[in-house]
């Protein structure tokens, strides 16, 4: 008889593959209905998965699609965890932000901005902002 691959817990594998920081976060991801196994929504953290299964779940601001290659024996270093799966996610689009570019409202005012504010506060009104 051919031996069937052993199944293991979904939440534990997601945690051991280092997609989340804790096992309770992995369980919350599954119970929240955010994880799909082979296209079907997994309802319980104890859902059995095996090598060859494809997982789809959100991670940060992107959707991860991974194929399970091996069960995890422990939560080891990142290099060991990356050997557990094949990443099938589309490449992440990176937005090009020029060096030295400043996002409005996202950082401290420049010296020029501070001078304009000081003039405005002293009563120069809107004329100081031009």
We report the CATH number of the domain holding residue 76 as 3.10.290.10
Is residue 102, in this structure, part of any structural domain at all? no
Which band of pLDDT confidence, cut at 50, 70 and 90, is reported for residue 109?
Answer: confident
User: Residue 57: which of 42, 47, 70, 71 has the closest Cα?
Assistant: 42
Which residues, including other chains, have CB under 8 Å from residue 19's CB and lie 6 or more apart? 26, 57, 59, 64
Distance CA 85, CA 89 (A): 12
Helix (H) or strand (E) holding 24: helix 23-31
Is residue 52, in this structure, part of any structural domain at all? yes
Distance CA 68, CA 40 (A): 15
Domain count, the chain: 1
Is residue 75, in this structure, part of any structural domain at all? yes
Which band of pLDDT confidence, cut at 50, 70 and 90, is reported for residue 26?
Answer: very high
Residue 102, token pair as written in the block = 């400043």
Is residue 22, in this structure, part of any structural domain at all? yes
Is residue 129, in this structure, part of any structural domain at all? no
Is residue 26, in this structure, part of any structural domain at all? yes
Is residue 65, in this structure, part of any structural domain at all? yes
Q: How do residues 3-18 score in pLDDT, each as one tens digit? A: 555 899 999 999 999 9
**Domain range for residue 30?**
8-87
């Amino acid at each position: 008889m051919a031996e069937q691959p052993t199944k293991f817990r979904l939440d534990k594998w997601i945690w051991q593959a280092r997609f989340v920081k804790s096992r309770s976060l992995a369980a919350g991801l599954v119970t929240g209905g955010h994880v799909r196994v082979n296209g079907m929504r997994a309802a319980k953290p104890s859902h059995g998965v095996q090598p060859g299964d494809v997982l789809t779940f959100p991670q940060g601001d992107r959707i991860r699609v991974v194929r399970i290659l091996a069960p995890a024996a422990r939560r080891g270093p990142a290099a060991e965890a990356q050997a557990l799966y094949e990443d099938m996610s589309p490449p992440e689009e990176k937005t090009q932000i020029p060096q030295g570019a400043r996002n409005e409202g996202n950082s401290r005012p420049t010296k020029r901005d501070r001078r304009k504010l000081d003039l405005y506060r002293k009563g120069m009104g809107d004329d100081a902002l031009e």
